[in-house]
Chains A and B, each alone.
Chain A
Amino acid sequence: MSSEISRPAVRRPIPEVDELSREFWEGAANGLLVIQRCTACRRFHHPPRSLCTDCGETRQTYVPVSGEARLWSWTVTHHKIVAGLIDVIPYICLTVELVEQPRLFLMSDFIGDDVPLEQFKVGCAMRVIFEPVGEGGIVLPQFRPAPVVTAS
Chain B
Amino acid sequence: MAWEHGGSVAIAGIGFSPIERRTSVPLGQFARQAAAAACADCGIEVSDIDGLATYATAPNIGARNQNGVDIINVDFFLSDPRFKNVTWYAQPGLGLIASAVRDAAHALISGSCKYALIWRAMYTPPGTYGLYESQTAVGDAQFTAPYGCVSVIQWHAFGYRRYLELYGSSREEMAALVVNSRNNANRNEHAYFADRPLTEEEYLAARMISDPLCLFDCDVPVTSCVALVMTTSERASHLRQPPAYLAAIGQQAVPRRDSIHYLLDDHIESGQPLAADLWRQAGLGPSDMAAAELYDGFSPSVYYWLEAAGFCARGEAHAFATKERIGLRGTLPVNTFGGSLSQGRLHGMGHIAEAALQVSGRAGQRQVSGAGAVCVFDGSPMYRGGGLVLTRGS
Which chain A residues have a beta carbon within 8 Å of chain B's beta carbons? 11-18, 21, 45-47, 49, 53, 72-85, 90-91, 93, 95, 103, 105-109, 121-122, 133, 138, 140
Contact of A73 among B134, B140, B151, B158 (CB under 8 A): B158
Query: Would you give the shortest CB distance from A36 to chain B, in whole angstroms?
Result: 12
A105 with B259, Cβ < 8 A, contacts A78-B209, A82-B132, A91-B148 known = yes
The interface on chain B, measured as residues whose beta carbon lies within 8 A of the other chain's beta carbons, has a size of 45
CA distance A12 to B134 in the complex (A): 10
Is A82 in contact with B145, judged by CB distance below 8 angstroms? yes
Is A75 touching B154 in the complex (CB atoms < 8 A)?
Answer: yes
Whether A103 contacts B259 by the Cβ 8 Å rule is yes
Closest 4 CB pairs of A and B: A75-B157, A15-B142, A73-B158, A76-B211
CB distance from A137 to the nearest CB of B (A): 14
Q: Which residues of B contact A95 (CB under 8 A)?
A: 158, 261
**What would be 30 A-B contacts, judged by CB atoms less than 8 Å apart?**
A13-B141, A13-B146, A15-B136, A15-B137, A15-B146, A16-B137, A16-B142, A46-B143, A46-B260, A47-B140, A75-B210, A75-B211, A75-B212, A76-B210, A76-B211, A78-B209, A78-B210, A81-B150, A82-B145, A83-B133, A85-B148, A93-B158, A95-B158, A95-B261, A103-B257, A107-B144, A107-B260, A109-B149, A133-B146, A138-B146
Bound-state Cα–Cα, A138 to B147, Å: 13
B363 located at the interface, meaning its Cβ lies under 8 Å from any Cβ of chain A in the complex:
no
Q: Which residue of B lies closest to A135 (CB)?
A: B135
Given A12-B146, A122-B166: A80 touches B131 (CB 8 Å cut-off):
yes
**B260 x A47 contact (CB < 8 A):** yes
B136 touches A13 (CB 8 A): yes
B6 is an interface residue with CB less than 8 A from chain A: no
Q: Are B260 and A81 in contact (CB under 8 A)?
A: no
Contact string against A for B residues 205-246, beta-carbon threshold 8 Å, 1 for contact and 0 otherwise = 001111111000000000000000000000000000000000
Q: Please indicate the chain A residues that have their CB under 8 angstroms from the CB of B137 in the complex.
A: 13-16
Q: Considering the chains assembled together, what is the distance between the CA atoms of A11 and B148 in angstroms?
A: 10
Does B1 have its Cβ within 8 Å of any Cβ on chain A? no
Chain A minimum-CB-distance residue to B149: A93
Q: What is the bound-complex CA distance between A15 and B209, given in angstroms?
A: 25
Which residue in A78, A81, A85, A103 is a CB contact (below 8 Å) of B130? A81
Partner of B131, one of A15, A53, A83, A90: A83
Q: How far is the CB of A119 from chain B (nearest CB, A)?
A: 15
C-alpha spacing A58/B130, complex, angstroms: 35
Q: Quick check: is B64 within 8 A (CB to CB) of the other chain?
A: no
Bound together, the chains give a CA A7 to CA B144 distance in angstroms of: 23
B153 adjacent to A81 (CB under 8 Å):
yes
Q: Which residues of B contact A18 (CB under 8 A)?
A: 138-139, 142
Cross-chain contact A78 with B147 (CB below 8 angstroms): no
List residues of chain A with CB within 8 A of the CB of B165: 121-122
| Closest chain B residue to A108, Cβ basis | B147
Contact of B158 with A75 in the complex, beta carbons under 8 Å = yes
Q: Which residues of A contact B153 (CB under 8 A)?
A: 79, 81
Which residues of the partner chain A approach B258 to less than 8 Å between Cβ atoms? 45, 49, 53
Q: A77-B149, A78-B209 are in contact. List 6 more A-B contacts (CB 8 A).
A: A13-B145, A16-B138, A75-B154, A83-B132, A93-B158, A107-B143
Chain A residues, CB < 8 A from B22:
none
Please give me the residue from chain B that is nearest to A11 by CB atom.
Answer: B135
Task: Verify A84–B143 contact, CB threshold 8 A.
Answer: no
Is residue B381 within 8 Å, beta carbon to beta carbon, of the partner chain?
Answer: no
In the complex, B58 has a CB within 8 A of chain A: no
List B residues 100-158 near A (Cβ within 8 Å): 128, 130-151, 153-154, 157-158
Q: Write out the residue numbers on chain B whose beta carbons fall within 8 Å of the beta carbon of A74.
A: 158, 161
- With contacts A13-B137, A78-B210 known, is A47 near B132, CB below 8 A? no
B194 at the interface (CB under 8 A from A): no
Find chain B residues with CB under 8 A from A12 CB: 145-148
Q: Judge whether B28 is part of the interface by a CB distance below 8 angstroms.
A: no
Contact check: which of A53, A84, A107 meets B135 at CB < 8 Å?
A: A84
Question: Roughly how many angstroms separate A14 CA and B261 CA in the complex, as a whole number?
Answer: 19
Kindly list chain B residues whose C-beta atoms are within 8 Å of the C-beta of A105: 259-261, 263
How does the 8 Å CB contact mask read for B333-350 relative to A, with 1 for contact and 0 for none?
000000000000000000
Q: How far is the CA of A18 from the CA of B263 in the complex (A)?
A: 26
- A79, B161: Cα distance in complex, Å: 17
* Least distance between B308 CB and chain A CB atoms (Å): 19
Chain B nearest CB, measured from A84 CB (Å): 7
B148 lies within 8 A of A77 (CB): yes
Chain B min CB distance to A54 (Å): 10
The reply to whether B151 and A81 contact each other, CB–CB distance below 8 Å, is yes
Q: State A144–B183 Cα separation when bound (angstroms).
A: 43
Q: Write the nearest CB–CB distance from B221 to chain A, whole angstroms.
A: 13
Contact between A73 and B146, CB atoms less than 8 A apart? no
Neighbour of B134 across the interface among A13, A45, A53, A75, CB < 8 A: A13
B5 proximal to A (CB < 8 A): no
B376 to chain A, nearest CB (A): 29
B84 at interface by CB-CB < 8 Å: no
Q: Is B300 an interface residue (CB 8 A)?
A: no
